[in-house]
A and B are shown apart, each in its own frame.
Chain A
Amino acid sequence: MIDLSVNLAGIKLKNPTILASGIMGVSAASMRLCQENGVGAVTGKSIGHEERTGHHNPTVYSWGQGLTNAVGLSNPGVDACVDLLSEMKESLEIPVIASCFADTVDNIARVAEKLIEANPVAIELNLSCPNTESDFGLMFALDPEATTRAVTQVKKIAGNTKVFVKLTPDGANLVDVGKAAEAAGADALTATNTLSGMIIDIRTKRPILTNKFGGLSGPAIKPVSVRAVYNLYKSVKIPIIGTGGINTGEDAIEFIMAGATTVGIGSGIYYRGIDIFKKVTNEMTLFMQKHQFHTVEEMKGIAHEK
């Protein structure tokens, strides 16, 4: 008998798949569609202080080995989203993780405080969106000190809500930032956000995305994210949500063997459809049956063994 259930920082998930933040938007309806398709938990789109329309299109496109996006943190603003988060909590049976961003450490704590009123099981601090540098400057997650301050402030007001930190693969110091987040009280780490990149269309002689730069996701970044999870697992005790290019159950297991407790899925919805969560969990079950694993925990970090 295969048991796919996992415990993520005290949160019980029926399976290790989590909808990554920014995918499927901000409505309770779209989260329900993911629930119907077997997801273990959902992460809402990152919410900021005020309403943002994001960047002009093109904001997302498929370049062959993955996707690139610069949606630009569009969201209706935190005040509209507190009710929305409550609606999600009421209408969903699976855990709901909120996500937030802001321009300064103080502001991220303000946004988080409002979202925590709706009592999500966890709040993910998006300290690493690569697409808003012109608006907000460099991401906090490149700086262990800023990460420490953000996590410390949010932890003070978080109550029962767990605090997750989403890390960037862009800096050389991902492990240092992860350790700083853990020391400041973070309950889990999401590794990783998209990888900054750029694609130029040579016919029209210009970058395709309106923002010029975008976050790479999908199959191309999987090895980068697996390495990030592997290195973090050696250095931190808190659980890791492995995210980046997961399309199959085998991909998910690769992340778990690197040390992830759960896996985030985003671009995979494009590659395999909205039922990717069912597909990934079915494929995980088949692999586990064949290789005599009974629980996800048995596979966690196994790639570290000599």
Chain B
Amino acid sequence: MKNNEKPLILPIEQIITENDRVKTFVFEHEMNFKPGQFVMTWIPGYDEKPFGLVSRVPGEFMITVAAVGESTKALHAMSVGDLIGFRGPFGSTFSLPDAGSIALIAGGYGMASLFNLAKEAREKGIDVHVFLGARNKAELLYLDWMKELGTTLYLSTDDGSEGFKGFNVQVFEEEVGKQIFDKAYTVGPEIMEMKVADICYKNNIPFEVSLERYMKCGIGICGSCCVDPVGWRMCVEGPVIDGEKLKEITEFGKYHRTASGKVEGYPWAKISRN
């Protein structure tokens, strides 16, 4: 039986400004997480939200946060020494092949959930090809760190300010025709993940996806993040889902549930729950 998810309260040790909208907050603590896991992050007085865990050196971890709502803006306004609460790490994890070559397809801050997978893969001697996409050059995350790890980077931006002008999925699809990937991993907007899934199914590439759903408890009891029709909880059975299991999640790419539990279709998909 467990009772170890009391909030861990830590001061912010360092704040890295990634760009106008995104900051990385560094904390001194050994989080003991596995790649793909997340942490419920309490911004006292505002909210608690899940963020992917990143760690570059032992005894330290970080979260990368875009200022998009009230609570994340409040976090951006905080200073070194201010206190943040954490529960976790929670959720399922990515799994690596023993050797060979892998592709990571990351959009936006999806890279945060994939960074430690890239690190672990490089430590095992696996070739890591990163297809990183963002709106513009400034929003391409962790470029120096990824170079340091010895990954091969394929950059793309919506506005063409860096790398290929267009989507990272297009670059990935082109490379799939040229080289062999033993496994692919994708984290980012669901429409991007859907396209990656299609490419992987067509080309018989095993893959894993991290699926984001609205979360409340983070510990598998509130049901907010259950997916149709299997009922798997994205905070326990997810967020990392294997490509074969993903076929059973019929809501993938079509709809999700809001904080009230109401079904909300994605703009690109017609809702069909059956």
Q: Is the CB of A247 within 8 A of B1?
A: yes
Size of the B side of the interface (Cβ < 8 Å), in residues, is 45
The residue of chain B having its C-beta at the shortest distance from the C-beta of A51 within the complex is: B260
Q: Which of B3, B42, B230 contacts A33 (CB 8 A)?
A: B230
Given contacts A75-B261, A76-B261, contact A60 B222 (CB under 8 A): yes
Given contacts A71-B216, A203-B9, contact A29 B260 (CB under 8 A): no
Q: Is the CB of A27 within 8 A of B260?
A: no
Given contacts A59-B222, A62-B6, contact A69 B229 (CB under 8 A): no
**B216-237 at interface with A (beta carbon < 8 Å):** 216-224, 226-233, 236
Q: Which of A27, A29, A272 contacts B1 (CB 8 A)?
A: A272
Q: Which of B7, B49, B83, B216 contacts A208 (CB 8 A)?
A: B7
Q: Is the CB of B259 within 8 A of A60?
A: no
The residue of chain A having its C-beta at the shortest distance from the C-beta of B250 within the complex is: A29
CB distance from A33 to the nearest CB of B (A): 3
A76: chain B residues at CB < 8 Å are 260-263
* Max chain A C-beta neighbours (<10 A), residue from B3, B4, B258, B260: B260
CB distance from B251 to the nearest CB of A (A): 9
A51: chain B residues at CB < 8 Å are 260, 262
- Asked if B147 lies at the interface with its beta carbon under 8 angstroms from chain A, I say no
Q: Is the CB of B219 within 8 A of A26?
A: no
Q: Is the CB of B219 within 8 A of A270?
A: yes
The residue of chain B having its C-beta at the shortest distance from the C-beta of A64 within the complex is: B3
The residue of chain A having its C-beta at the shortest distance from the C-beta of B228 within the complex is: A29
- Asked if B87 lies at the interface with its beta carbon under 8 angstroms from chain A, I say yes
Q: Is the CB of A204 within 8 A of B83?
A: yes
Q: Is the CB of B217 within 8 A of A29?
A: no
Given contacts A51-B262, A62-B5, A201-B9, contact A33 B45 (CB under 8 A): no
CA distance in complex: A63, B2 (Å): 11
Q: Is the CB of B6 within 8 A of A27?
A: no
Given contacts A30-B231, A54-B259, contact A25 B49 (CB under 8 A): no
CB distance from A215 to the nearest CB of B (A): 13
Q: Which of A27, A64, A74, A269 contacts B228 (CB 8 A)?
A: A27
CB distance from B220 to the nearest CB of A (A): 6
- Asked if A31 lies at the interface with its beta carbon under 8 angstroms from chain B, I say yes
Q: Which of B219, B222, B232 contacts A25 (CB 8 A)?
A: B222
Q: Is the CB of A201 within 8 A of B216?
A: no
Q: Which of A29, A64, A270 contacts B227 (CB 8 A)?
A: A29
CA distance in complex: A75, B263 (Å): 11
B135: chain A residues at CB < 8 Å are none
Mask of B189-208 contacts with A, CB within 8 angstroms, 1/0? 00000000000000000000
- Asked if A242 lies at the interface with its beta carbon under 8 angstroms from chain B, I say no
Mask of B30-73 contacts with A, CB within 8 angstroms, 1/0? 00000000001010111111000000000000000000000100
Classify the interface of chain A: helix, strand, loop or mixed: loop
B260: chain A residues at CB < 8 Å are 51-54, 74-77
Q: Is the CB of B228 within 8 A of A201?
A: no
Q: Is the CB of B258 within 8 A of A23?
A: no
- Asked if B85 lies at the interface with its beta carbon under 8 angstroms from chain A, I say yes
A58: chain B residues at CB < 8 Å are 7, 40, 42, 48, 85
Q: Is the CB of B220 within 8 A of A57?
A: no
- Asked if B257 lies at the interface with its beta carbon under 8 angstroms from chain A, I say yes
The residue of chain B having its C-beta at the shortest distance from the C-beta of A60 within the complex is: B217
Q: Which of B3, B48, B227 contacts A65 (CB 8 A)?
A: B3
CB distance from B42 to the nearest CB of A (A): 6
CA distance in complex: A74, B260 (Å): 5
The residue of chain A having its C-beta at the shortest distance from the C-beta of B4 within the complex is: A62
Given contacts A30-B226, A203-B83, contact A24 B221 (CB under 8 A): yes
Q: Which of A60, A206, A247 contacts B216 (CB 8 A)?
A: A60
Q: Is the CB of A64 within 8 A of B262?
A: no
- Asked if A293 lies at the interface with its beta carbon under 8 angstroms from chain B, I say no
The residue of chain B having its C-beta at the shortest distance from the C-beta of A57 within the complex is: B48
Given contacts A53-B259, A75-B261, contact A45 B223 (CB under 8 A): yes
Q: Is the CB of A61 within 8 A of B222?
A: no
Q: Is the CB of A27 within 8 A of B231?
A: yes
CA distance in complex: A35, B221 (Å): 15
Q: Is the CB of B49 within 8 A of A57?
A: yes
CA distance in complex: A22, B45 (Å): 25
The residue of chain A having its C-beta at the shortest distance from the C-beta of B9 within the complex is: A203
B232: chain A residues at CB < 8 Å are 33
The residue of chain B having its C-beta at the shortest distance from the C-beta of A273 within the complex is: B220
Q: Is the CB of A210 within 8 A of B47?
A: yes
CB distance from A294 to the nearest CB of B (A): 30
**A16-46 at interface with B (beta carbon < 8 Å):** 22-34, 45
- Asked if A148 lies at the interface with its beta carbon under 8 angstroms from chain B, I say no
Q: Is the CB of A27 within 8 A of B221?
A: no
**B230-248 at interface with A (beta carbon < 8 Å):** 230-233, 236
Q: Is the CB of B224 within 8 A of A25?
A: yes
CB distance from A287 to the nearest CB of B (A): 18
Q: Is the CB of A26 within 8 A of B229?
A: no
CA distance in complex: A274, B237 (Å): 10
CA distance in complex: A212, B48 (Å): 14
7 CB contacts below 8 A, A to B, read: A29-B230, A45-B223, A60-B217, A60-B219, A61-B217, A62-B2, A64-B6
A-B pairs with the 5 shortest C-beta distances?
A: A25-B223, A33-B231, A57-B48, A60-B217, A24-B223
